[in-house]
């Protein structure tokens, strides 16, 4: 099987690189930069990609790799920090840049003297000028002997370089992000033309391999899965059901923070009367979650409280069931990145299904079959497994539920407000033919109250925020441009039908700088 290895030097885009490789049609694995060269060779990769990272290659404590890597004959592509590492380990010079580059830059094919790279396999078919995404404070000042410069920008003399004789290539920008217009072409050139891959791997291969690996890993063990009814946990359940069958018990915790009527809908689909052959247990735990969250306003603290209570509920159910060897979760890669569990990653927000189990929980280990996938890839796996499209393309919902869609403390009345406003919003979007499958659309409740006038009387009620974003990988997102008439209809209905609301706002913030959830 064709394989590309991504060596991680601490960059938060490492999984996005792997995702792009898989989209091109080659199986891809991520390994830490500490992976020994002998082990790397045993994997027999068709190519190796070195990721970005926050360090400076010329500092002694920075991540590095032995120079022998570049003499193996295995095609190598260094990205950002990886490009600087190529230069540094191959005898070039890397210095602190006189002008740092962050964000959009114009990539110009060729060196500063000649805007051409006719013989470059990496730049084959790439436009003479295009937008690219930069993020660096250091730069390659002098390329190593044997390397030629194949692209530059106004502030970066070596935006791309290569030594085709040794099949070593490097780019200072990030071709894996959508902001680099020719990025996919460049990655495809490396994989197809430099590595010689046929690109025949499909998501079906992931599903088949994962089912086999789960069966081997779990053996005769018993598995407990937290089933929310959302895309991630449902696909995880389907994979595990195919791998171990009735050894799997799915526990649905209704924490009172779900969307309107969602608890009953989940039970209808996955419970005894549904089409799925699962051991299904529903736990109605709204009151205990409300009690734990009383008076808590900090969103990170709310996430931790909800996560801890989930673990408590799971432990209680596990004891009722009997022996449980594995706790399965629908963790996907954006959860991992935002929780800062990757090397060099900053904690953006905690996820209750990331980071391991407390010591007192009686499970052998965690099983996370979707941990390496992005949301759109999870959906592809779901379709491959035969899950209905209505379930696969269901609106994403955070594990902590409405607890993070309520700014400030959580109360039963605030939950009611968000549930009703959210139901109206999604109903009107559906009626208007808005494609909600292209992103995420929901209502959130601010902790802001203001004076209003309703029926000639004074009100002092809450403001609801409507959020609509377009995204494919949930790592970046842009606000959806909803028709004004639809927004007006939503506003009128929410104010008239939801008690306690006298203002409706629309959130235009992209990700970054914001997260998708309001919190």
**Helices 375-384 & 231-244, crossing angle to 10 degrees?**
40
Catalytic-role residue among 80, 156, 195, 197? 80
- pLDDT, tens digit (0-9, with 9 covering 90-100), for 103-152: 889 999 998 776 566 689 999 999 999 999 988 788 999 999 999 999 99
What is the reported pLDDT for 482? 96
Catalytic-role residue among 2, 101, 162, 176? 176
Other beta carbons within 10 Å of 360: 8
What is the reported pLDDT for 114? 63
Q: How far apart are CA 470 and CA 517, in angstroms?
A: 13
Element (H, E) at 378: helix 375-384
75: nearest Cα among 135, 140, 180, 3: 3
What is the reported pLDDT for 456? 65
**Cα-based angle 302, 303, 305 (whole degrees, multiple of 5):** 65
Query: What's the pTM?
Result: 0.67
- Which strands make up the sheet holding 248-254, listed edge to edge? 279-284, 248-254, 223-226, 326-328, 365-367
What is the reported pLDDT for 342? 44
The structure tokens listed for 281 are: 């247990």
Inter-residue contact 12 to 345 (CB < 8 Å): yes
**Helices 484-497 & 412-431, crossing angle to 10 degrees?**
150
Q: How far apart are CA 384 and CA 373, in angstroms?
A: 14
What is the reported pLDDT for 414? 97
Rounded alpha-carbon distances, angstroms, from residue 406 to 292, 414, 496: 15, 7, 20
Radius of gyration for the alpha carbons in the chain, expressed in angstroms and rounded: 25
DSSP-derived letter for residue 193 is I
What is the reported pLDDT for 97? 79
The structure tokens listed for 486 are: 């639809």
Catalytic status, residue 104: no
What is the reported pLDDT for 202? 84
Catalytic-role residue among 174, 255, 351, 352? 174
Catalytic status, residue 176: yes
List of the chain residues with pLDDT < 70? 114-118, 334, 336-363, 455-456
What is the reported pLDDT for 346? 42
What is the reported pLDDT for 49? 98
Catalytic status, residue 80: yes
């Amino acid at each position: 099987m064709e394989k590309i290895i991504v060596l991680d030097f601490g960059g938060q885009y490492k999984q996005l690189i792997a995702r792009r490789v898989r989209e091109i049609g080659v199986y891809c694995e991520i390994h830490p930069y500490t992976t020994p060269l002998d082990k790397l060779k045993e994997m027999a990769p068709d190519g190796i990609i070195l990721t970005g990272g926050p360090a400076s290659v010329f500092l002694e404590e920075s991540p590095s790799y032995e120079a022998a890597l570049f003499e193996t004959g295995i095609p190598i592509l260094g990205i950002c920090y990886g490009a600087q590492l190529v230069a540094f380990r191959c005898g070039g010079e890397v210095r602190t840049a006189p002008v740092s580059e962050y964000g959009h830059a114009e990539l110009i094919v060729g060196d500063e003297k000649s805007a051409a790279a006719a013989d470059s396999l990496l730049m084959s078919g790439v436009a003479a000028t295009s937008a690219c995404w930069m993020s660096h404070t250091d730069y390659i000042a002098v390329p190593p002997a044997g390397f030629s410069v194949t692209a530059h920008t106004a502030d970066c003399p070596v935006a791309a370089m290569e030594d085709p004789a040794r099949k070593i290539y490097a780019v200072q920008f990030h071709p894996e992000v959508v902001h680099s217009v020719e990025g996919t072409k460049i990655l495809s050139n490396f994989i197809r033309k430099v590595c010689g891959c046929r690109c025949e791997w499909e998501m079906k291969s992931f599903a088949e391999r994962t089912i086999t690996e789960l069966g081997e890993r779990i053996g005769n063990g018993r598995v407990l899965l937290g089933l929310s009814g959302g895309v991630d946990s449902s696909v995880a359940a389907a994979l595990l059901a195919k791998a171990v069958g009735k050894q799997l018990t799915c526990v649905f915790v209704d924490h009172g923070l779900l969307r309107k009527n969602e608890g009953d809908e989940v039970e209808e689909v996955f419970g005894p009367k549904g089409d799925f052959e699962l051991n299904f247990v529903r736990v109605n735990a709204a009151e205990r979650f409300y009690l734990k969250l009383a008076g808590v306003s900090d969103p990170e603290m709310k996430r931790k409280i909800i996560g801890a209570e989930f673990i408590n509920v799971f432990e209680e159910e596990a004891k009722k069931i009997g022996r449980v060897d594995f706790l399965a979760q629908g963790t996907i890669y954006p959860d991992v990145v935002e929780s800062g569990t990757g090397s060099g990653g900053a904690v953006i927000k905690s996820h209750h299904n990331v980071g391991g189990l407390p010591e007192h929980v009686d499970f052998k280990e965690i099983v996370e079959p979707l941990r390496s996938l992005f949301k759109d890839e999870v959906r592809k796996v779901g379709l491959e497994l035969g899950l209905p499209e209505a379930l696969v393309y269901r609106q994403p919902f955070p594990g902590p539920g409405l607890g993070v869609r309520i700014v400030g403390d959580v109360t039963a009345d605030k939950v009611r407000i968000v549930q009703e406003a959210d139901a109206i919003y999604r109903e009107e979007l559906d009626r208007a033919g808005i494609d909600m499958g292209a992103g995420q659309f929901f209502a959130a409740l601010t902790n802001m109250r203001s004076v209003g006038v309703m029926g000639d009387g004074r009100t002092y009620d809450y403001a609801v925020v409507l959020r609509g974003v377009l995204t494919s990988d949930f790592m970046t997102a842009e606000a959806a441009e909803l028709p004004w008439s639809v927004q007006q209809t939503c506003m009128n209905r929410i104010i008239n039908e939801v008690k306690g609301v006298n203002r409706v706002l629309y959130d235009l913030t992209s990700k970054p700088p914001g997260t998708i959830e309001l919190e």
